[in-house]
Each structure stands twice: as structure tokens, then as C-alpha cells.
Amino acid sequence: MRSVGFIVHPGYSPMTLAISTVFEIANIQVGEPVYDVRMLSEAGGPVRTSIGFEVMTQPLSGETLDLLVVGGSMEDATPEVVSFVRRAPKFARRIAAPCIGALVLAEAGLLDGRRATTHWLYARDMAARYPRIRVEEDRIFIADGPIWTSAGMSAGIDLALALIEEDLGIEAARSAARKMVVYHRRSGGQSQFSTLLELEPKSDRMQAVLTYARRNLTNRLSVEELAEVAHLSPRQFSRAFQSETGQSPAKAIEHLRLEAARALMEDTHHPIDVVAQQTGFADRSRMRRAFVRAYGQPPQVLRRAAQSATAELIDT
């Protein structure tokens, strides 16, 4: 049986508790208790979550664990908890931190010299405070050796499914995902961001324009074409679009193209010329310039990084 310990401290986000359900479902699927899951805290006893209800916990101890999960809290972890996490590699085979739990690992020094991610709202702060960490702020989750980190909220479920896949195989992870009615699973290299969510158009009219654009990236997608979809004159459309999204139509379309191109670069083996054509960049040089502007790196580098991350996950 694999022992899994969840460190819970005051202000702990209940969303992180959803990760434990993945291990519960895995036990049900296998038909026996493969995972022994327990909640831990500094002193044991009831711990109040960020929403107000309490979780019963056992006190921290140095017992052997297959996995230690350090969840996120809006309150700073105590020095005692940080010290415990710092010692964790001596008794825990793997250590995982969804969301801002990564900040506890960072404070404990466990992420020094490693790749890591966290909720995008806190990623740049983590990079500034802990310069020895290679923070990748737009990743869903990252496995660097025995240390696993994920983005915020539901990304912890992706991380847990990846751990299930490592332990029990891909079919067990797929089965758990189906039971939970979630994807199996977003790849760790997938971006935290969505251009459509980031733009947040205020009207159904502009939402329809963006949906049309994303489905027709091989088109030129001129202002005239988009204005026709919105049933507005080009001048009216440009003003309305800028007002609702905070971006010009041209900039928004480039972001949609970049999002689609990056997904193809990281998740397929399509030649760069093909990716450029399929996403409306027309040629590889134009796509390269857009990637460098947006990501600071050409598409080939991002593809290699994604392939390397996948290889590390398989070899872990």
C-alpha cells in the first residue's frame, strides 16, 4: 500500500482536497486500498480551511511516505512546517505541491535548481523571491525528478492523474478521469492560459467573433471579415472590439494564432511550415517573430522543452 500524506494548515484551500478524490477513485477502480490517504498538520486535530469548515488531521511525523502533498494556503506556513518539508526527501519518495503550495517547497529549498510552476498569479513573485528556481508560469504541472508542482485550482487533479498513471498505468488514470468526468489528462506542458478567457468580451456579439476567428485561423481574418460576423461596419467593429477586450482585433487574432500554434508545436510532430499554415501565420518566419515577441523564444525551443518535459515524466 502507498502512503499519501496531505499537509493541511490554517487557510488551506478546499479545492486542493479534490486531489485526494483521485486516489480514492483509483482505490475503487483497483478494488483494493492501493493508496492510504491521511491528512496531516503541525499539531494534529481540526484545521480550519479558507472557506470555514474544519478538516481532521494527524500530527506531522517522520513516517515513511510514498507521496507527500503540500497544499496551498492564504496564510504562510509556520517555520515548523517549512522545516518538516525541508526534511521530507529523507522519508517521502515523492513530494507534490499544487497551486501556491509550491511556495512552501520554495521556502524549504526543495525547488532550488529545479523547474517548477504554481498559480499564474503568484509565479512571478516566486521567481523574484527565489531566483534559483526555474519558474515556468504557464505550465499545468511539472515533474522534476521526485518533485511535482502544478498550477492552481483544478490543475492539481491533472497532477494527481499523472501520479496515478506513473503508479498504476495509463488505463487506471483514464478510468479515474472518466469516473471524475474530467479530461485524461491535460499534458503537463499545456498552458494555464486561454486567450478567449483572457480577453473576456462583454457581449455575445464579440464572443461570436472570437469563436469564429478561432475556428477559421487559416483565413486572413481581416477587420472587414470580422466586422461582417459582428454585423457592424469595420469602424464600429474596431471601436467596439477595443472597448470590450482592451486589445485591437489584430493583436487578439495574433494571440489566438499563437495559442493554436504553440499547442501544435508542443503536442504534435508537424513541421514548422505546416503549423504556420494551419494557424494562419502564412510562413515560418512570421510565426517565429510572433513567438519571440510573445514568449521570448522561437517555436523550436518551446517544442524541445515540451518534449524534454514529457521524456522526464516518462523516465521518472
What does 127-178 look like in DSSP terms, one character per residue? HHH-TTSEE-TTBSEEEETTEEEE-STTHHHHHHHHHHHHHH-HHHHHHHHH
pLDDT < 70 positions in the chain? 74, 183-198, 308-316
- Which residues are marked as active site? 99
Q: Give the structural domain span for 238.
A: 195-309
Q: What percent of the chain has pLDDT over 90?
A: 58
Confidence (pLDDT) at 112? 97
Confidence (pLDDT) at 137? 77
Confidence (pLDDT) at 68? 98
Can you give the CATH number for the domain in which 213 is found?
1.10.10.60
Confidence (pLDDT) at 201? 80
Confidence (pLDDT) at 313? 46
Confidence (pLDDT) at 184? 53
- Per residue in 245-280, pLDDT tens? 999 999 999 999 998 898 889 878 899 999 999 999
Same domain, 188 and 229: no
What domain count does the chain have? Answer: 2
Confidence (pLDDT) at 196? 60
How far apart (Å, rounded) are the C-alpha atoms in residues 109 and 69? Answer: 16
Same domain, 215 and 169: no
Confidence (pLDDT) at 111? 97
Q: Which of 131, 161, 192 is the last residue of a domain?
A: 192
- Examine residue 316 and state whether it is found in any structural domain, yes or no: no
Same domain, 278 and 304: yes
Same domain, 169 and 53: yes
Same domain, 48 and 31: yes
The verdict on pTM exceeding 0.75 is: no
- Examine residue 315 and state whether it is found in any structural domain, yes or no: no
Same domain, 148 and 25: yes
- Examine residue 201 and state whether it is found in any structural domain, yes or no: yes
